[in-house]
Amino acid sequence: MKTPGFVKYAGAMVALAILSACGGASTVAPPTAALNATYVGRTLFVNGRPVTAARLSPLPTYATILPDRRTKSKTLEYVFNQYSSYASIFDYPKSDQEIGMIKGLGGQGCTNVLYGYGNKTFWNVGGQNQIEEFKIKKKLIKTLSVAYSFPSSCAMNTSGDLAVGILYASGAGGGDVVIFKNASGSGTAYTTPLDEEFFDGYDNQGNLFADGFTGDRSGFALVELPKGSTKFETIKTSNRVDFPGSVQWDGTYLTVFDQDTAEMYQYTVSGTKATLKGTVTFSGSGDCAQTWIVQGLVYCGDAGNGNGEVFNYPAGGSPTATFTGQFDVPLGVVAAKR
């Protein structure tokens, strides 16, 4: 079903200054460009480009985290905004301020670990067909490309292979996953049962999972490329998942986030069946378009609230922190060590 018309999102507003726990104040400038958003089926298009978010905030929001200034931050967090715009950089929990920006980024990110803080580098899938690796804080060190219009996601296994999902492509290619051996070369494309691939992630055995929509853009599906195989297969979940969200190994379970319900499902997978073992509920989020799990925490790029958030994991509940910065349709988030 197509939803006609455009939803207009104002791009200019007065930034809200909120006092932090330490008595400081921050004021940030909002984005200046207006956004045009529409749906084709259940897939959201922003300014003509398909995105992996389920919905957007009607206006950007600005808030503060509660900083722990006694802590010397050894990590950096990146909130990726709409494609080809920018990434906002944070050093939570040390600061309540955005500390930098990388122009031209957006979309989603991943690192060189299955979960947790990446080891001094991260990848961004943020352009029309380019995939870029950065050494933190923001030094570009490698660029790859795919022969498809709209790559959407990325994941790395413990061997250093990089898997890039294709959200949408003109003609063939939508729903494919391209795997770059050792994160190099031109990559090998694998067809999946998906017509639109939203998120992907490896487990600790080297199996690659991805989720997205099937042909009518309404049916959720989870698929797997078992290690050593060349063919993706559909995985049946023991519960209903409404809208594709991040797929990530959490150290014990394969997790799938549901953007509609704001819940993270923890699965064990045997054969072609994923059995639900736990549900983590996040309250107060608008739409975590991408989540990233580290030990004890989940970072959220919240397209619904227009910000970045931090939750306890696996406890869930309300955000323990909300990033202060300039956001323009947050779609992704990732974290890495200095």
The answer to whether residue 266 is domain-embedded is yes
Percent of the chain whose predicted confidence (pLDDT) is above 70? 83
- What pLDDT score does 96 carry? 64
The answer to whether residue 122 is domain-embedded is yes
Work out the angle at residue 305's Cα, subtended by the Cα atoms of residues 304 and 310, and round it to the nearest 5 degrees. Answer: 110
Per the omega criterion (within 30 degrees of 0), is the bond before 93 cis? yes
- What pLDDT score does 336 carry? 97
CA distance 26 to 64: 8
The answer to whether residue 307 is domain-embedded is yes
- Largest interatomic CA distance in the chain: 57
CA distance 106 to 155: 16
Q: How confident is the model at residue 117 (pLDDT cuts 50, 70, 90)?
A: very high
Residue 317 has pLDDT above 50, yes or no: yes
Residue 6 has pLDDT above 80, yes or no: no
Q: 62 versus 121: which is more confidently predicted?
A: 121
Answer yes or no: are the C-beta atoms of 300 and 309 closer than 8 Å. yes
Q: How confident is the model at residue 223 (pLDDT cuts 50, 70, 90)?
A: very high
Residue 68 has pLDDT above 70, yes or no: no
In 10 A of CB 145, how many CB atoms?
16
Answer yes or no: are the C-beta atoms of 178 and 192 closer than 8 Å. no
The answer to whether residue 333 is domain-embedded is yes
Mean of the pLDDT values across residues 44-69? 65
Residue 243 has pLDDT above 90, yes or no: yes
Answer yes or no: are the C-beta atoms of 324 and 64 closer than 8 Å. yes
Domain extent at residue 93: 63-337
Question: What is the three-class DSSP state of 56?
Answer: coil
The answer to whether residue 4 is domain-embedded is no
The answer to whether residue 227 is domain-embedded is yes
Q: 69 versus 251: which is more confidently predicted?
A: 251
The answer to whether residue 30 is domain-embedded is no
- What's the pTM value of the predicted model, to 2 decimals? 0.85
The answer to whether residue 134 is domain-embedded is yes
Across the chain, mean pLDDT equals 85
- Into how many domains does the chain fold? 1
Q: Which residue has the tokens 């799938």?
A: 256
* CA end-to-end distance (rounded Å), the chain: 46
Q: Which two tokens stand for residue 254?
A: 């394969």
CATH assignment at residue 219: 2.130.10.10
Question: What is the three-class DSSP state of 183?
Answer: helix
Residue 245 has pLDDT above 90, yes or no: yes
Range of weakest confidence among 52-66, 179-193, 220-234: 52-66
Q: Which residue has the tokens 């519960």?
A: 239
